[in-house]
Amino acid sequence: MAGVSTFNSFTCKTFSQLISKNSLSPINSFGIPTKKTNNFSRKSVSINGSNNNTNKAIFRTQAGVGDDDEWGTERPQVDGEVEGVKVKAAVAEAEPEPPKEPTEVDVLKKALIDSLYGTDRGLKASSETRAEIIELITQLEAKNPTPAPTEALTLLNGKWILAYTSFVGLFPLLARGTLPLVKVEEISQTINSVDFSVQNSVTFSGPLATTSLSTNAKFEVRSPTRVQIKFEQGIIGTPQLTDSIVLPENVEFLGQKIDLSPLKGLFTSLQDTASSVAKTISNQPPLKFPITSDNAQSWLLTTYLDEELRISRGDGGSVFVLVKEGSYLLNP
């Protein structure tokens, strides 16, 4: 009996030690293994092998969010593999970046574009508005991000829309009294730095048609900010007649308002004729003529340049504000 007692004592002690050291579950005060809660569950265990190969065990585990997760919601999972063990772990979502604060240049550009509203490219600007515009232009020129524009020709490339000018030579063109029923839709300058060409273009619209007048020129770089321009050719675009004639109620000519309502019937009868003529004229090539005058030259100084705004000064002290085609500044 003493031997049996010794054997039982040895067996029980050994079994208890094995459970304490090797069991995944802790022993409670009653000596009974308790269930252990953890956030890792063995998803699958597979043993692959053959008579000639060593058995290889592949474990797949998942780190999930348990019932005790303080967030109470699942987080995004990301797959990974560490030393042959594939693991899915929770990843915290990245917080969105806060919006960038506008720079001083951004504020000045917006203020300049706002001040141009209602000036009709400078034609209708009052003396106070002109002074405000010149002040904003001066501040932007002091913060020019491209001090050598002629060395950054890729920025100069493209079509630039005229937003404002102090060049009085353009005012008669902009004034509707000079061309009754005709409106200047757009004035633009297109620069191509590959062949050093410049095209200035004015687009007109009227009740019967739209057309354009352009000049082609070449430019030479004379300094980091200045180019010399020589005009070579003029182009009168092919008129594009409109199918629908829109006649205003009245038109101002030489300071007098002329009532056009009696002419509405006449213009309406011309609509069918205009539609048929439009197809014929639109197939004709534009009219080109050479510019041979020795005085057909000018210079241009770029005093501010970025991806969407350009400020230039010409001979005679005139200033030009141009916006890149497609820029949000055209529709503030």
Q: Please name which of 84, 83, 74, 86 lies closest in space to residue 39, comparing C-alpha atoms.
A: 74
pTM beyond 0.75: no
Rounded Cα distance between 176 and 184, Å, is: 8
Sketch the domain layout of the chain as residue ranges: 108-238+285-330, 242-283
Rounded Cα distance between 20 and 143, Å, is: 76
> What pLDDT was estimated at residue 273?
65
C-alpha dist (Å) from residue 283 to 103, 235, 278? 50, 16, 9
> What pLDDT was estimated at residue 117?
93
Question: What are the phi and psi torsion angles at 251 (to 5°)?
Answer: -140, 145
Identify whether the C-beta of residue 219 lies closer than 8 Å to the C-beta of residue 229. Answer: yes
C-alpha dist (Å) from residue 318 to 5, 171, 313? 116, 12, 6
> What pLDDT was estimated at residue 151?
93
Task: Write out the two tokens for 258.
Answer: 């002329």
> What pLDDT was estimated at residue 326?
93
The Cβ of residue 147 has, within 10 Å, a number of other Cβ atoms equal to: 12
Per-residue pLDDT of the chain (332 residues; tens, 9 = 90+): 444 444 444 444 444 444 444 444 444 444 444 444 444 444 443 434 444 444 444 444 444 444 444 444 555 555 555 555 555 555 556 677 777 888 999 999 999 999 999 999 999 999 999 999 999 999 999 999 999 999 998 999 999 999 999 998 887 777 754 556 678 899 999 999 999 999 999 998 877 778 899 999 999 999 999 999 999 999 998 887 665 555 566 666 555 666 666 666 665 666 566 666 666 666 778 889 999 887 788 899 999 999 999 999 987 789 999 999 999 898 86
> What pLDDT was estimated at residue 197?
96
Fold held by 108-238+285-330:
Lipocalin (2.40.128)
Residue 58: DSSP 8-state: E
> What pLDDT was estimated at residue 172?
75
> What pLDDT was estimated at residue 211?
86
Q: Give the rounded distance of the alpha carbon of 215 from its chain centre.
A: 30
CA angle 320, 325, 327 (to 5 degrees): 95
C-alpha dist (Å) from residue 51 to 48, 54, 55, 56? 11, 8, 9, 12
